[in-house]
Amino acid sequence: MSIDKIRKRLTGGFRPFVLRTSDGREFPVPHPEFFAVGKSDVAVVDKTGDINVLEALHIVSIKTPKARNAAATRH
């Protein structure tokens, strides 16, 4: 995936997304502060505070998680 497509994801109002890599791993990006874009790679901070540096070449998709239905989370 091109780094420009990834950058576009951060403009025009941020919405959380998930990056999927060529090896099947997924990296949620819940807020722009958890994400940085470099010249040919990106960095994602995970829930534990670890920084994952990913080459854009290995990012195969960006998806937006479906919004949770408030009624479905109530029991």
51 is a domain residue: yes
pLDDT band at 13; cut points 50, 70, 90 = confident
| Burial classification of residue 26, based on how many CB atoms lie within 10 Å of its CB (0-12 exposed, 13-18 middle, 19 or more buried) | exposed
Half-sphere exposure of 5 (CA within 13 A, CB side): 10
CATH label of the domain that carries residue 61? 2.30.30.100
71 is a domain residue: no
pLDDT band at 58; cut points 50, 70, 90 = very high
- What is the chain's Cα-based Rg? 13
The residue segments making up the domain with residue 15 are 3-65
| Burial classification of residue 51, based on how many CB atoms lie within 10 Å of its CB (0-12 exposed, 13-18 middle, 19 or more buried) | exposed
Q: What per-residue confidence (pLDDT) applies to 68?
A: 67
pLDDT of 27 above 70: yes
**Structural domain count of the chain:** 1
